[in-house]
Amino acid sequence: MGFFLIPYLLKSQVIKTIQENTNTFVNIKNISFNPFAFSLELEGVSLSDDLNETLVSFASLDINVEPTSLVLGALKIKNITLIKPKIFVICNKDKSINLLNSFTSALAEDNNTDTEKTALPRVIIQKIEIVEGGVEYKDYTRKDLFVFSFNNIGFSLKNIDTADMQSTDAQVRFYSTLGDGGFVDFHSNIHSLEPFIVTGSLEFEASKLYTQWKYLKEQLNLEVADGKISFDTEYSFNSADINATTIKNLNLSLQRLRIIPKDGYKDVLNLDLLYVKDVEIKLFKQNVEVQKIGLKGLRVKAKRSKDKSIDWLSFIKINSNTNESGQEIDKNNTRKETVSEPWNVLIQDLALEKIQLNFIDEAIQPSVTSSVNELNIYVQNLTLSGKESMPYKLDIQVNNDLKCSSEGKIIHQNLDMDSLTSCKGFDVTHYGPYIQAFAKEVVLKHDLRLKSGVVGFVLQSKVKQVEDTISFVVTDANISVENFLLVKKSKREKLIAFKNFNTTGVHLNTLTKSLKVKKVLLKELNVYAHRYKNKSLNLDNLLVPKKVKTVVKSSKEEPYHLVLGEFFLSNSSLTFKDSSLQKTKKQKIDRLHLHVYNLDSKKRSWSTYRGGLRLNKKGNLYVNGKVCHTPLKQIGRFELKDLNLQFLNDYLQESSYLNVGEGKLSFKGKSSYAPSLSSPDLQVSSSFELNSLTLNDVRKDSPLLVLDKLQTKSITLELSPNRLYIDEVNIENFYVEAKIDENKTINFAKLAKTKEETTEVVEEKVKLEESDKNVFPIKILKVNISSGSAKFSDYSIPIKFSTYIHNLDGVIYAISNIESETTYINIAGDVDEYGSAKLEGSIEGSNPKSYTDLNLNFQNLELNSLSGYSASFAGHEIDSGKLYLDLGYDILNSELKGSNNIMMKNVVLGNEVEDENVTVLPIGFVLGLLEDSDGVIDIKMPIEGNVDEPDFKYGTLVLKTIGGLISKAVMSPFKFLGAAMGIDAEKLEYIYFEPGTSIVTPPEREKLDQISKMMLKKPKISLKLTAPYTEIYDKQALQISKLIDLVMQKSGLKNRKEHKNAMTTNLLVDIYEEVKGGDSLDKVRVELEKEYEGEVLERKYNQLLTVLCRDIQTVTTGELHALANKRALNIYNYLSEDKSMATNRLSKGEVVVVEGMANEVVALHLEIQIK
Residue 829: the pLDDT is 86
Nearest alpha-carbon partner for 846 in 937, 772, 919: 772
The average pLDDT across 1070-1076 equals 81
From CA 163, how far away is CA 240, in angstroms rounded? Answer: 17
Q: Cα separations (Å) of 785 from 158, 534, 728, 789?
A: 129, 44, 11, 10
Those residues with Cβ within 8 angstroms of residue 211's Cβ, 6 or more apart along the chain or in another chain: 148, 178, 179, 180
Q: Would you say residue 763 has pLDDT above 50?
A: no
Which pLDDT tens digit goes with each residue over 1088-1110?
888 888 888 888 888 888 888 88
Assess contact for 1143 and 1019: CB atoms under 8 A.
no
| Amino acid in the structure at residue 747 | N
Q: What DSSP character marks residue 1040?
A: H
Rg (CA), the chain: 68
Show the 3-state SS of 377-407: EEEEEEECCCCCCEEEEEEEEECCCEEEEEE
Full DSSP string of 1070-1100 = HHHHHHH-SSHHHHHHHHHHTT--HHHHHHH
pLDDT-derived band at 758 (thresholds 50, 70, 90) equals very low
pLDDT-derived band at 519 (thresholds 50, 70, 90) equals very high
Residue 113: the pLDDT is 54
Three-state secondary structure call for residue 873: helix
Those residues with Cβ within 8 angstroms of residue 1117's Cβ, 6 or more apart along the chain or in another chain: none
From CA 429, how far away is CA 368, in angstroms rounded? Answer: 11
From CA 1168, how far away is CA 954, in angstroms rounded? Answer: 33
pLDDT-derived band at 326 (thresholds 50, 70, 90) equals very low
Those residues with Cβ within 8 angstroms of residue 250's Cβ, 6 or more apart along the chain or in another chain: 231, 232, 233, 234, 276, 278, 279, 280, 281
From CA 162, how far away is CA 140, in angstroms rounded? Answer: 44
Assess contact for 665 and 629: CB atoms under 8 A.
no
pLDDT-derived band at 210 (thresholds 50, 70, 90) equals low
The helices-and-strands tally (H runs, E runs) of the chain is 18, 47
Backbone dihedral region of 543: left (phi > 0), alpha (psi from -120 to 50 degrees) or beta? Answer: beta
Nearest alpha-carbon partner for 826 in 835, 814, 816: 814
Q: Would you say residue 2 has pLDDT above 50?
A: yes
Those residues with Cβ within 8 angstroms of residue 441's Cβ, 6 or more apart along the chain or in another chain: none
How buried is residue 781: exposed, middle or buried, by Cβ count under 10 Å (0-12/13-18/19+)?
A: middle
Assess contact for 454 and 494: CB atoms under 8 A.
no
Residue 441: the pLDDT is 82
Q: What's the predicted TM-score (pTM) here?
A: 0.68
From CA 252, how far away is CA 275, in angstroms rounded? Answer: 5
Q: What DSSP character marks residue 959?
A: H
From CA 779, how far away is CA 775, in angstroms rounded? Answer: 12
pLDDT averaged over every residue in the chain: 80
Q: Would you say residue 283 has pLDDT above 70?
A: yes
| Amino acid in the structure at residue 713 | K
Write down the domain spans for the chain. Answer: 1-106+121-179, 219-319+342-398, 414-547+558-630, 797-805+813-971, 991-1171
The average pLDDT across 839-855 equals 82
**b (16+ CB within 10 A) / e for 170-184:** bbbbbbbbbbbebbb
Q: Would you say residue 387 has pLDDT above 50?
A: yes
Which pLDDT tens digit goes with each residue over 523-580?
999 999 998 988 888 888 888 887 766 666 555 678 889 999 999 999 999 998 888 8
Pairing of strands 778-794, 723-740: parallel
Q: What DSSP character marks residue 870?
A: H
The residues that bridge with 684 in the sheet, in sequence order, are 671, 717
Q: What topology is assigned to 991-1171 in CATH? A: 60s Ribosomal Protein L30; Chain: A; (3.30.1330)
From CA 511, how far away is CA 489, in angstroms rounded? Answer: 42
Q: Which of 134-138, 527-531, 816-820, 972-976 has the highest mean pLDDT?
A: 527-531
Which pLDDT tens digit goes with each residue over 412-442?
878 888 999 999 999 988 888 888 888 888 8
The average pLDDT across 861-878 equals 62
Lowest-confidence segment of 174-183, 590-599, 603-612, 1064-1073 by average pLDDT: 174-183
Pairing of strands 514-523, 390-398: unpaired
Nearest alpha-carbon partner for 432 in 480, 485, 500, 375: 485
Assess contact for 177 and 145: CB atoms under 8 A.
no
From CA 930, how far away is CA 927, in angstroms rounded? Answer: 5
Cα 1076–chain centre separation: 120
Q: What DSSP character marks residue 769?
A: H
Full DSSP string of 65-126 = EEGGGGGGTEEEEEEEEEES-EEEEEE-TTS-BHHHHHHHHHHHHHHHS-----PPPEEEEE
The average pLDDT across 333-341 equals 58
Which pLDDT tens digit goes with each residue over 921-946?
566 666 666 666 667 776 776 777 77
Residue predicted with more confidence, 298 or 697: 298
Q: Would you say residue 324 has pLDDT above 50?
A: no
Residue 92: the pLDDT is 85
From CA 776, how far away is CA 766, in angstroms rounded? Answer: 17
From CA 658, how far away is CA 648, in angstroms rounded? Answer: 10
For 741-817, strand residue ranges (E) read 778-794, 801-816
How buried is residue 361: exposed, middle or buried, by Cβ count under 10 Å (0-12/13-18/19+)?
A: buried
Q: Would you say residue 765 has pLDDT above 50?
A: no
From CA 931, how far away is CA 907, in angstroms rounded? Answer: 8
**b (16+ CB within 10 A) / e for 711-738:** bbbebbbbeeeebbbbebbebbebbbbe
Which pLDDT tens digit goes with each residue over 237-253?
888 888 888 998 999 88
pLDDT-derived band at 970 (thresholds 50, 70, 90) equals low
Q: Round to the nearest angstrom and report the end-to-end CA distance of the chain.
A: 195
Which phi and psi (to 5°) does residue 968 adopt? -65, -40
Give me the sign of the Cα torsion angle 981, 982, 987, 988.
negative
Assess contact for 989 and 1165: CB atoms under 8 A.
yes
The average pLDDT across 1005-1010 equals 86
From CA 127, how far away is CA 188, in angstroms rounded? Answer: 14
Pairing of strands 287-304, 344-361: parallel
Residue 407: the pLDDT is 93
Which pLDDT tens digit goes with each residue over 701-725?
778 788 888 888 888 887 777 888 8
Nearest alpha-carbon partner for 822 in 846, 856, 855, 854: 846
Residue 65: the pLDDT is 83
Those residues with Cβ within 8 angstroms of residue 900's Cβ, 6 or more apart along the chain or in another chain: 885, 886, 887, 888, 939, 940, 941, 942, 943, 958, 961
Q: How many residues does the chain have?
A: 1171
Neighbours of 1146 (CB within 10 A): 18
Which pLDDT tens digit goes with each residue over 1119-1132?
989 988 998 999 99
Residue 928: the pLDDT is 63
